[in-house]
Amino acid sequence: MSTAAVNSFPVATAATARALPGLQPGAPVRKSRTPLSVVRSVPRKRRAPFVVMCFGILAVALMAVLVLNISVSSAQYQLVELRAQQSTLTKQNQDLTQQVQNFDAPQNLAAKATELGMVASTGKGQIDLSTLAVTGKAKPAVKGDAAGAVIAAPAVAGQVNVVPSASRNEPLLNRKPAAATPAAAPTVPVAKAPVVRVPALSVNLYGGSVPAPAQKVPGK
């Protein structure tokens, strides 16, 4: 009810003024009655847009939650996938590093050099370029000199012998990762070199010719 309506409401007129109930001593107590009035109804609001808006907000909120959820969980999947990728790369890196270290070991380096026909020099000389002084008597290394004791190559489990005794193949050949073996062929588009047909072996050698070393079976 608007204020204007209340104000315009005629509460009482002087002529018809009725004595107020409590002010008439002796008069029987009568229940007072709320004066009647015409209640002007508030103009009806249109509800439809509000409801539509509510549903709209609800739908948008639901969609947002859904999208958020999907993105969070897909990010989780991505995270897992990237973690797996990282660990694979770490492992690969570690494996390759180990191979390098294996080839780098002084024993293996010396053995490889000997295999290639290199001989350690015994007599060395020095030339001082500033004074052009030559000191020491350099002697050419002679093949067949006693090479001295052989220090055993490091026995790192799973590493190839740098200097293979029986096979003439490059030791790294059978070290290609499993996935790379089939993929390696198309990357080299050499005009169909005569492929040596190796009879199908029952043992998968992963591109090499020497079977992998036997692994110890615990409890055997």
Partner 1 sequence: MAQNTGRARTGKTPSATRRLRLGLGLMLTLLLVVGGKLFLVQGLDVGGMAEAALKNRLKPIELPAERGSILDADGTVLASSVIRYNVVVDQTVNTNTETFPRLEKVDGKDTIVKIPRDQGIEELATVLGMKQDDLKAALTGTSRYYIVAKDIRPDVEDRVSKLQVPGIVTEGTSKRVYPNGSVAGGIVGFLKDGTTGQAGLEQTQDAVLKGTAGKRLFEIGADGLRIPVGVDQFTPAVDGKDIKLTLNSDLQYFAQQAIQSQKDKLSAEWGIIVVADAKNGNIIAMADTDAPDPNDPGKVAAKDRGVRAVTAAYEPGSVEKMITAASAIEEGIARPLDKFIIPPTYTVDGQTFTDAFEHGTEKRTLAGIVGYSMNTGTVMVGQRLSKEKRHDWLQKFGIGEAPDIGLPAESKGILIPADQWDGRQQYTVLFGQGVAQSTLQTVRAYQSIANDGVMLQPRLIDSYINPDGSEEKVPAKPSRQVVSKKTAKQVRDILESAVTEGEIKDAAIDGYRVGAKTGTSESPCDDGKSGFCGYTASMVGMAPMDDPRFIVEVVLQRPKGSIYGITNGPVFRSVMSQTLRTYNVEPSTGKPVRLPQYAK
Residues at the contact surface with partner 1, assessed by CB under 8 A: 31, 33-34, 36, 72-73, 76-77, 80, 88, 90-92, 94-95, 98, 101-102, 104-107, 110, 122-126, 128, 133, 135-137, 146, 148-158, 177-179, 203-204, 211-220
In whole angstroms, what is the distance from residue 136 CA to residue 127 CA? 9
18 vs 168, beta carbon nearer partner 1: 18
CB of 88 to partner 1, least distance (A): 8
Q: What backbone phi and psi angles, to 5 degrees, belong to 193?
A: -65, 150
The single-letter code of the amino acid at 50 is F
Nearest to 110 by CA among 167, 165, 149, 160: 149
55 vs 145, beta carbon nearer partner 1: 145
CB of 7 to partner 1, least distance (A): 23
DSSP string, 139-173: ----TTS---PPPPPP--TTPPPSS-SS--S-GGG
CB of 202 to partner 1, least distance (A): 8
50 vs 73, beta carbon nearer partner 1: 73
107 vs 209, beta carbon nearer partner 1: 107
